[in-house]
Amino acid sequence: MKHFINLNDVSDVTELVKLGLEQKANPFANKHLGLNKTIGLLFFNSSLRTRISTQKAAMNLGMNVIVMNVGSDSWQLEFEDGVIMDQGKAEHIKEAAAVLGQYCDIIAVRAFAELKDRNDDYKETVLESFRKYAGVPIINLESATRHPCQSLADLITIEELKTKEKPKVVLTWAPHFKPLPQAVGNSFAEWVLMTDYEFVIANPEGYDLSPEIRKNAKVVHSQEEAFAGADFIYAKNWSSYEQYGQVLTQDPSWKITPEKMALTNNAKFMHCLPVRRGLKVSDEVLDADYSAVIQQAGNRVWSVQAVIKQILEGLAV
Amino acid sequence: MKHFINLNDVSDVTELVKLGLEQKANPFANKHLGLNKTIGLLFFNSSLRTRISTQKAAMNLGMNVIVMNVGSDSWQLEFEDGVIMDQGKAEHIKEAAAVLGQYCDIIAVRAFAELKDRNDDYKETVLESFRKYAGVPIINLESATRHPCQSLADLITIEELKTKEKPKVVLTWAPHFKPLPQAVGNSFAEWVLMTDYEFVIANPEGYDLSPEIRKNAKVVHSQEEAFAGADFIYAKNWSSYEQYGQVLTQDPSWKITPEKMALTNNAKFMHCLPVRRGLKVSDEVLDADYSAVIQQAGNRVWSVQAVIKQILEGLAV
Amino acid sequence: MKHFINLNDVSDVTELVKLGLEQKANPFANKHLGLNKTIGLLFFNSSLRTRISTQKAAMNLGMNVIVMNVGSDSWQLEFEDGVIMDQGKAEHIKEAAAVLGQYCDIIAVRAFAELKDRNDDYKETVLESFRKYAGVPIINLESATRHPCQSLADLITIEELKTKEKPKVVLTWAPHFKPLPQAVGNSFAEWVLMTDYEFVIANPEGYDLSPEIRKNAKVVHSQEEAFAGADFIYAKNWSSYEQYGQVLTQDPSWKITPEKMALTNNAKFMHCLPVRRGLKVSDEVLDADYSAVIQQAGNRVWSVQAVIKQILEGLAV
């Protein structure tokens, strides 16, 4: 693997899930791979799971880890070409990425959507600029429109918990008062569609994900319809793709409750976290035995460890 | 040792002091204990000594260290049960602690008092929530009402410097213009009371520590009376317990001066730092040969290293 | 080497350049030197290259690294003697430095000029206070008036790229709208003057560096004159020394353009970064084959690695 920015960088999803489970079974078996190698973690936005699970995975593989909060630890970066830099941004991505590529064997980047201009976000300027200018492999720690490390952890979790070969997996929108990115929903849909699981997306009218994402997915506008017979319920809020970045509704009837979960085939409940209790999901659901959110978060280590391992092996060649 | 949140978690104070001195004599003798183990340091508040001494102690024991500033690096946390999370706090402690427990073998937490509601602070919600939800050992890096890592370092320092078996130890209030927590004073009193040293607390009227803390201590309202014959003077400001969190006086006559120190039995001067020179303590006292504040700060490494060592040994069982 | 604060701490510049090139050729050859030793990196100001290259160099030498942002991670520091600390600054440098010296074998510090009072800045209070109170070796990661780690990397880069024994090296002022420190310009001049290269400084009237710095240098007020026959063009903005900290002009005719570069002897272009594209330097210059800025930034690792290695060897004695 050269980069891990989006699904196009992955040759075999099933193999990667298997590799994740192998990392979990033997966390320190490949510690020699990262010897004297450095990964730089760049955060343009806050992080808890991603920050810590990635550090841990890299250290499990024997790497040195350097963490940087862009903007507070260092300079604000300019991403536009050809501008005269006479405003607040002190450094251009061309230099910043190339310089970091001098210091790091792998660079991992988190940079959320701005939710102002759909084309801007879907161009993935930040991550693609690092791919273009850094000269070393780039890992996506959640970009404007994708969160592949999360999706890989999600598939690992489903693999661990599924009780039939082809479970029914439901991705459902849940209410939130703030406009949130589409990255987690987009990636989860894309990754599940690479498996042979049954897959349904449930969201209110106006909240359909991008045509590109949902072209091979079944989309319904009723949670009840989607939940019937489901083996996995994956809840997530996202703002509207059509009226880009808007909160069109906070309809509390879309909250995940024990009553809704009762419609399923004893489904496991999943969420990428952080989750707002009482708002998107009832306390009872998160505290139930069928909630898999902590196991799912734990699997973030093995997901990114599988990715880093594949990249390190690519470097060695 | 399972946790190190308060004195109830410690079976034998004297043994722990001895263990700290052993760590100081042989800092790297137990580096195998922490191999492939991770400690997460969570700071809800600023830190210099605690941040760096804990990192160093953990590295001396061979551990991986992950540091996080809650709120700037990651999300704001909600600690109340059953609330609808529709405000600024994006993640509940139930998830945050459990997830961190997936990544870390030990979690160390700093979370100061808010000094608004006495019951709230003395419930120790933050540290006790981590104990309840993280599923791994928790170390207190100063909580709302206790600072046991500091107190252990203080006892190590007294052990190193005492010239008689049962020295007279004085904890004295010193003036400050800001309302400060009672954590250091509380813990120091509790820990010294576990020894057979003579112990006196000196503070102005209205500044008595909690009845629970001072029930076995001698409390006087005159520095002169307390300092007479003292072998150790430990200065610290705290805000009022009775009129909770209030600054009732900044009386400069409570400042520690060379004249006051002259009343003692050539006492060593101690303070947990940071200290405001000229306000709480004269420059002359801090710069004197009898000032032990730097040695005391240095012992923060060996204090927390003894704690981590005991916890690591408990994990191995 | 005891400290690395300014050029007076260096016994032989040529040897140090050679040592840097050796580190680059064999990055991990001295990993035993730093075993169980800790370097603390203290940032009073933002940093990208310095932060990451210094971490990497220290890890290459086997050291433990602790990074701290002063003011956000920890307390604001007081540097004045004899004040009553009843304002925002919670800790005095006397305690802070001495305590850090208890935890760290080496302390590296970044503290920019305030550009308010020339005497204050040129006294180098922050770095010299650490030298005075820490009790361990201090490395300058850019102080008020010097940036020696940068200058050493600059000389390493010139050594790698020079095509004649005594190249002509030009340090040229370039326009900027913000008042910037003189540290990089000062240090570059001092360090190049330790070699036998031809050296010219070009800057507008009113922007002459301090008399102390330029006493052995040729200074001209015309870029055209300076660039003629140059082998290296080193661009940097600085605010006025005479009218201290003032921006006297933003004259765009001082911007580095391909036309200006055409006046040289196929000179390499250098800049310490970050650089404001379009403002100080044309995009075409930074994107040209003759731009050495990325290689120069990469050499920051080997520069500081040479320094740390010499200091570690001094500790061992």
Considering only CB atoms, which chain B residues are within 8 Å of C75?
Answer: 46, 48, 274
Phi, psi of A212 (to 5 degrees): -55, -40
Tokens of B77: 């946390």
Tokens of B230: 């003292």
C147 labeled part of a ligand binding site: yes
- Cα distance between residue B96 and residue B98, in whole Å: 6
Q: Flag whether B1 is in a domain.
A: no
- Nearest in space to B186 (alpha carbons), one of B275, B277, B243, B113: B113
Structural domains counted in chain C: 2
Contact at CB, C103 and B60, closer than 8 angstroms:
no
Region C169-174: mean pLDDT is 98
Lowest mean pLDDT segment, chosen from B100-104, C81-85, C98-102, C170-174: C81-85
For tokens 């930074």, name the residue. Answer: C286
For residues A106 and A226, membership in a common domain is answered with no
For residues C160 and C288, membership in a common domain is answered with yes
A300 labeled part of a ligand binding site: yes
Residue A115 corresponds to which amino acid? L
- Which residue is closest to A38 within chain C, CA to CA? C56
Contact at CB, A301 and B73, closer than 8 angstroms:
no
Phi, psi of C315 (to 5 degrees): -65, -35
| pLDDT per residue as tens, chain A (317 positions) | 999 999 999 999 999 999 999 999 999 999 999 999 999 999 999 888 999 999 999 999 999 999 999 877 777 899 999 999 998 899 999 999 999 999 999 999 999 999 999 999 999 999 999 999 999 999 999 999 999 999 999 999 999 999 999 999 999 999 999 999 999 999 999 999 999 999 999 999 999 999 999 999 999 999 999 999 999 999 999 999 999 999 999 999 999 999 999 999 999 999 999 999 999 999 999 999 999 999 999 999 999 999 999 999 999 66
HEC sequence for chain B: CCCECCHHHCCCHHHHHHHHHHHHHCCCCCHHHHCCCEEEEEECCCCCHHHHHHHHHHHHCCCEEEEEECCCCCCCEECCCCCCCCCCCCEEHHHHHHHHHHHCCEEEEECCCCCCCHHHHHHCHHHHHHHHHCCCCEEECCCCCCCHHHHHHHHHHHHHHCCCCCCEEEEEECCCCCCCCCHHHHHHHHHHCCCCCEEEEECCCCCCCCHHHHCCCEEECCHHHHHCCCCEEEEECCCCCCCCCCCCCCCHHHCECHHHHCCCCCCEEECCCCCCECCCECHHHHCCCCECHHHHHHHHHHHHHHHHHHHHHHHHC
Mutation target among C39, C79, C92, C105 for the B interface, most CBs of B within 10 A: C92
CB of B297 closer than 8 Å to CB of C102: yes
Tokens of A202: 């449930």
Considering only CB atoms, which chain B residues are within 8 Å of C74?
Answer: 46-48, 51
Tokens of B35: 């191999």
- Cα distance between residue C313 and residue C2, in whole Å: 10
Amino acid B317: pLDDT: 60
CB atoms within 10 A of CB B102: 21
Closest CA of chain C from A237, distance in Å: 32
Amino acid B280: pLDDT: 96
For residues C154 and C235, membership in a common domain is answered with yes
CB of A6 closer than 8 Å to CB of A307: no
Contact at CB, C74 and B46, closer than 8 angstroms:
yes
Contact at CB, A48 and B75, closer than 8 angstroms:
yes
CB of B24 within 8 Å of any CB in chain C? no
Contacts of C26 (CB under 8 A, 6+ apart): none
CB of C72 within 8 Å of any CB in chain A? yes
Mutation target among C37, C102, C105 for the B interface, most CBs of B within 10 A: C102
* Tens-digit pLDDT profile for residues C195-248: 999 999 999 999 999 999 999 999 999 999 999 999 999 999 999 999 999 999
CB of A38 closer than 8 Å to CB of C59: yes
Considering only CB atoms, which chain A residues are within 8 Å of B74?
Answer: 46-48, 51
Q: Flag whether C260 is in a domain.
A: yes
Mutation target among C38, C43, C75, C86 for the B interface, most CBs of B within 10 A: C86
Tokens of B220: 């006087």
Q: Flag whether A2 is in a domain.
A: no
A75 labeled part of a ligand binding site: yes
C176 labeled part of a ligand binding site: yes
Tokens of C145: 């008036």
- Which residue is closest to B83 within chain A, CA to CA? A278
Share the mean pLDDT of chain C: 96
Contact at CB, B28 and C38, closer than 8 angstroms:
no
Phi, psi of B82 (to 5 degrees): 75, 5
CB of B80 within 8 Å of any CB in chain A? no
- Which residue is closest to B284 within chain C, CA to CA? C82
CB of C79 within 8 Å of any CB in chain B? no
Strand pairing category for C138-140 and C106-110: parallel
- Which residue is closest to B178 within chain C, CA to CA? C86
A212 labeled part of a ligand binding site: no
- Cα distance between residue A145 and residue A49, in whole Å: 18
A76 labeled part of a ligand binding site: no
Beta bridge partners, C200, equal: C170, C218
Beta bridge partners, A66, equal: A40
Phi, psi of B286 (to 5 degrees): -65, -30
Quick one: DSSP state of residue A107? Answer: E
Sheet of C218-220, strands arranged across: C218-220, C198-202, C168-173, C232-236, C268-270
CB of B222 within 8 Å of any CB in chain A? no
Give the angle C176-C285-A42 at the CA atoms, nearest 5°.
70
- Cα distance between residue C300 and residue C295, in whole Å: 9
| pLDDT per residue as tens, chain B (317 positions) | 999 999 999 999 999 999 999 999 999 999 999 999 999 999 999 888 999 999 999 999 999 999 999 877 777 899 999 999 998 899 999 999 999 999 999 999 999 999 999 999 999 999 999 999 999 999 999 999 999 999 999 999 999 999 999 999 999 999 999 999 999 999 999 999 999 999 999 999 999 999 999 999 999 999 999 999 999 999 999 999 999 999 999 999 999 999 999 999 999 999 999 999 999 999 999 999 999 999 999 999 999 999 999 999 999 66
Question: Which residues of B are documented as binding site for carbamoyl phosphate?
Answer: 47-50, 75, 110, 147-150, 272-273, 300
Amino acid B114: pLDDT: 95
CB of A276 within 8 Å of any CB in chain B? yes
CB of A68 closer than 8 Å to CB of A74: yes
Mutation target among A276, A299, A300 for the B interface, most CBs of B within 10 A: A276
The helix/strand/coil state of A233 is strand
The helix/strand/coil state of A49 is helix
Contact at CB, A66 and C48, closer than 8 angstroms:
no
Tokens of B276: 């405001």
Considering only CB atoms, which chain B residues are within 8 Å of A51?
Answer: 68, 73-74
- Nearest in space to A92 (alpha carbons), one of C284, C289, C276: C276
CB of C283 within 8 Å of any CB in chain B? no
Mutation target among A64, A72, A74 for the C interface, most CBs of C within 10 A: A74
Question: Which residues of B are documented as binding site for N(2)-succinyl-L-ornithine?
Answer: 142, 176, 236, 276
pLDDT band at C70 (very low <50, low <70, confident <90, very high): confident
Closest CA of chain C from A48, distance in Å: 17
Write out the residue range of the structural domain in which residue C176 sits: 150-296
A with B: how many residue pairs have Cβ under 8 Å apart?
90
For residues A183 and A136, membership in a common domain is answered with no
For tokens 């200091």, name the residue. Answer: C311
Strand pairing category for C232-236 and C268-270: parallel
Quick one: DSSP state of residue C281? Answer: B
- Cα distance between residue C26 and residue B187, in whole Å: 51
Q: Flag whether A32 is in a domain.
A: yes
Amino acid A317: pLDDT: 60
Backbone dihedral region for residue B206 (phi beyond 0: left; psi -120 to 50: alpha; all else: beta):
left
pLDDT band at C125 (very low <50, low <70, confident <90, very high): very high
Percentage of chain C with pLDDT > 70? Answer: 99
Contact at CB, C90 and B49, closer than 8 angstroms:
no
Which CA distances in Å does B7 have to B1, B149, B189, B193, C15? 11, 10, 11, 11, 56
- Nearest in space to C158 (alpha carbons), one of C186, C192, C201, C202: C192
Report the first-to-last Cα separation within chain C, whole angstroms: 11
CB of A235 within 8 Å of any CB in chain B? no
Neighbours of chain C (3+ CB pairs under 8 A): A, B
Q: Tell how far CA A229 is from the center of its chain.
A: 26
Q: Flag whether A56 is in a domain.
A: yes
Count CA atoms closer than 13 A to C54's CA, side-chain side.
Answer: 27
For residues C116 and C170, membership in a common domain is answered with no
CATH number at residue A28: 3.40.50.1370
For residues B186 and B64, membership in a common domain is answered with no
Nearest to A47 among B74, B78, B83 (CB): B74
Q: Flag whether C209 is in a domain.
A: yes
* Tens-digit pLDDT profile for residues C267-311: 999 999 999 999 999 999 999 999 999 999 999 999 999 999 999
Considering only CB atoms, which chain C residues are within 8 Å of B47?
Answer: 73-74
For residues C136 and C245, membership in a common domain is answered with no
Check whether C193 has a pLDDT greater than 90: yes
Tokens of A18: 């298997």
Considering only CB atoms, which chain B residues are within 8 Å of C86?
Answer: 177, 276, 278-279
For residues C174 and C114, membership in a common domain is answered with no
CB of C112 within 8 Å of any CB in chain A? no
C148 labeled part of a ligand binding site: yes
CB of C188 closer than 8 Å to CB of C155: no
CB of B145 closer than 8 Å to CB of B177: no
- Which residue is closest to B255 within chain C, CA to CA? C84
C3 labeled part of a ligand binding site: no
Tokens of B37: 């183990």
Contacts of B122 (CB under 8 A, 6+ apart): B144, B145, B210
For residues B99 and B196, membership in a common domain is answered with no
CB of C285 closer than 8 Å to CB of C257: yes
CB of C111 within 8 Å of any CB in chain A? no
For residues C81 and C190, membership in a common domain is answered with no
Strand pairing category for A168-173 and A232-236: parallel
- Cα distance between residue C317 and residue C148, in whole Å: 24
Q: Flag whether A257 is in a domain.
A: yes
Q: Flag whether A244 is in a domain.
A: yes
CB of B27 closer than 8 Å to CB of B1: no
For residues A59 and A174, membership in a common domain is answered with no
Nearest to A86 among C49, C276, C287 (CB): C276
C300 labeled part of a ligand binding site: yes
For residues A174 and A122, membership in a common domain is answered with no
